[in-house]
Amino acid sequence: MDAIIRRRLKLPSFRRWREKHLALRAAQVQPGHWGLEVHDPVVGLSDLIEDQDPVLVIGATDGACAMFLAAHGAQVHVCDPDIAAVYGLEGRAVNEQLGALIECTVVQLERFEPFSWFVACVVETGALADIPAQERSRLIERLKRVTPEGGRHAVMPASQGRGRADARLSSDALRSLYGDWEVVAPPAAPGVAGKKPKNAGFTAIRPASQIATEMRVSE
């Protein structure tokens, strides 16, 4: 009876479904599947997160960052004031079979108060372009407070393509907000060795506190 129902509904066999599912998952963990570059700051987070780790993404854009991290097992929370962008991300997440790992909130970022700890945070620079500089600074400080020692912020570049068409705010403008963190810039493009890439985003790592460092030394 099950075989008859499967044929009439044109359902794939478990073996075929599993093969297709595994192939999709293998593709989803690759940056290029989402239009990301291997040197994009968000890609480096895949070495940090483990299954079920909470990750915060500020800015929906095309959802590439959120879905890349979800494909690596993270529980991703996305915040964006644009309801259309959020709906688009949710729809694409369902199509990619990642909907269960992504939660979205429509909120004005100036008022957003992080509600728990996140092992990492992705900041889509374009999402902050319309926020006054003082409010941007306060938002980043709130995000830093809910990031544990060793946690990272991946500040993405605002550029054409991949849904980031708003380049009014350079990622370089946010570096000064991480003066107390370790900031790591992406490598230069081939052929331009020695030149620092501009507006290419960066990764900021929260250092261990002085007290924790002293305790480790004494041990």
Q: Which amino acid is at 10?
A: K
Looking from the CA of 153 toward its CB, the CA atoms found within 13 Å total 30
User: By C-alpha distance, which of 112, 99, 95 is closest to 58?
Assistant: 112
Domain range for 144 is 2-218
CATH number, position 148: 3.40.50.150
Secondary structure (DSSP) of 104-130: EEE--GGG----S--SEEEEEGGGGTT
d(CA 183, CA 202): 7
**Strand locations in the chain (E):** 54-58, 75-80, 102-106, 120-124, 152-156, 182-184, 202-205
H and E: helices and strands count for the chain: 7, 7
Q: What's the confidence (pLDDT) of residue 158?
A: 75
Query: How many distinct structural domains can be found in the chain?
Result: 1
Give, as one character, the DSSP assignment of residue 164: -
**Please, are residues 55 and 45 in contact by the beta-carbon 8 Å criterion?**
yes
Beta bridge partners of 37: none
> pLDDT means per 10 residues in the chain (219 residues)?
48 51 73 92 93 96 94 96 94 93 96 93 94 96 96 85 60 94 81 64 87 47
| Residue 95: φ, ψ to 5° | -65, -30
| Global confidence as pTM | 0.81
Distances (CA, A) of 32 to 27, 65, 67, 162: 9, 11, 12, 11
Q: What's the confidence (pLDDT) of residue 6?
A: 45
d(CA 105, CA 124): 15
Structure tokens at 195: 């030149």
Q: What's the confidence (pLDDT) of residue 155?
A: 97
Structure tokens at 118: 């996140």
